[in-house]
Structure 1
Amino acid sequence: MPARLTDLPDAPEQVRRFQHAYTAVSRVAILRDLLTRGPAQRVDLARRLDITGPSVRKALNELIGAGYVTFRLPAHTSATSQDQPHGTTYTANREQVMADLAATMAWLSEDRR
């Protein structure tokens, strides 16, 4: 049995990445919002989803790390990609989400007899 419920040691990387994204309500809400409503800034996501700013930032950083979200820095800034200043626009990477979802569905339905 896995050490924690969220550990899937025998699963491919795509499956573990997708499963991790879906273990937090804030990540799911933000990803769904970006997929259905299009690009948004942190403040818009926080307001629309009633999630605190720090929670939005953390969830976005995790979704960026998974490859599910990309971002565009404001034109007027000289900030690095690490900074993600106010005015940064976030976009869902639909292709990566769908590829990992497909891999997850394939893994879930594998015949293991």
Structure 2
Amino acid sequence: MTIKELISRKVEPKTLTKLIVLFFYSNRDEQKIALHTENLLYSYTQAGKMHFFSIDANLHPELTKSFNVKRFPKLILIFEDKEIGRFAQESINETLIEQIIQDLKTKNILQ
């Protein structure tokens, strides 16, 4: 899946069975957090268990607005076309990502 498909909502049905992680940012410091988050989730994206999108809110204002993101950075989790989690700037860190992974495994969303 590409960011263009996500924006236009032209997504294959089989894609919706995978976890989609959206990380919205608006400046370089937040972009660094996005890159670190992506690295923490790398093994899952490489295994095809999730899609990770790092989204520059300045380049994609329509997408940012469609997800009602007003403060940055923002981490949003989507599964089966439903939002299952939203995390604010203060809480996005390595510990949170580890907790999210454990929670998703417990719920059999991430194997």
- TM-score in terms of structure 2 length: 0.31
Greater share of strand: 2
- TM-score in terms of structure 1 length: 0.31
Kindly name which structure, 1 or 2, has the bigger radius of gyration based on alpha carbons.
Answer: 1
Greater share of helix: 1
